Amino acid sequence: MGSFITHHNCRVGFEPNGAISCPRTETTVIEQSNNNEFKPKVSVRHLNFYYDDHQALKDNNLEIAENKVTAIIGPSGCGKSTHIRCYNRIYEMYKGQTATGEIIIDGQNILDPSVDLIELRMRVGMIFQRPTPFPMSIFDNVAYGLRLQARWSKSELEDKVEQALKDAALWDEVRDKLHEPGAHLSGGQQQRLCIARAIAVEPEILLMDEPASAIDPVGTAKIEDLIEQLKSRYTIVIVTHNMQQAARVSDFTAFFYNGEVVEFGK
């Protein structure tokens, strides 16, 4: 049996093969989360997003639980990736992209123009759909953010790089080739290298934009296991097209449709 979420008066269904259907109208039902389990880390309020004159997000309201995994699902082009790109304001690297509303992280509206973007992106790390190792060694990939963050002694830097690689379940595979190019790793290893690079600076939030879509099933399984291990230390938001993956890794799920948050629940 497919799982269902509601969109206004249209009941949207996911069939076992991943297809989306809207077979009949029905009253909207929103699942309520157990308040005892839910401590918000991020509160999104009336978020709108524009690509020039095109409105991609429409009055998004959503809360992301601390130290939990929240999956964002929905059809292609519905605004999933656009939504999470607002959390660290990475969209500001591109002209014509603007966000309005509020994104509150620990009491601070990070859309406020006075927010330090470097500090924000240290707090909110991001993993992209395709692995993005820098054109440098494995060691330097992980050390890159650390060197921007502070002045570390050689031994401190080595310890932090090693710990990040261990936390990303990659240390045992690369410990003897730390000075080889990161691009020489397999796709799955490259993605875990990017995770190590992100967590090395100890962010509070990890954004993952379809992190396993470009890697093989074995690499996907390792990424999913890693997400389960990391959530005790980080608040994780993952965008995925894979309904089974969302069910496996997430504590909460938000369904997006046409730029709107249609439903949120466990």
User: What gap in Å lies between CA 266 and CA 136, rounded to an integer?
Assistant: 41
The pLDDT score that the predictor gives to residue 13 is 53
SS3 156: helix
**Torsion angle, CA of 17/21/24/30, rounded to 10 degrees?**
80
The pLDDT score that the predictor gives to residue 148 is 87
| Average per-residue pLDDT for the chain | 88
Does position 22 have pLDDT exceeding 80, yes or no? no
pLDDT for 66-124, tens place per residue?
999 999 999 999 999 999 999 999 999 999 999 999 999 999 999 999 999 999 999 99
Contacts of 24 (CB under 8 A, 6+ apart): 10, 11
DSSP state of 145: H
User: What gap in Å lies between CA 241 and CA 246, rounded to an integer?
Assistant: 8
**How do 205-209 and 124-127 pair as beta strands?**
parallel
CA distances from 22 to 11, 33, 76, 246 (A): 6, 25, 16, 20
Which pair of structure tokens corresponds to residue 121?
A: 């992106």
User: What gap in Å lies between CA 224 and CA 11, rounded to an integer?
Assistant: 29
Contacts of 119 (CB under 8 A, 6+ apart): none
Which pair of structure tokens corresponds to residue 168?
A: 């990303």
The pLDDT score that the predictor gives to residue 99 is 98
Question: Is-contact 227 208, C-beta < 8 A?
Answer: yes
Q: List domains and CATH numbers for the chain.
A: 1-30 (no CATH), 31-265 (3.40.50.300)
Question: What sign has the CA pseudo-torsion 36, 38, 43, 45?
Answer: negative
E strands along 201-259, which residues? 205-209, 235-239, 252-257
The pLDDT score that the predictor gives to residue 35 is 54
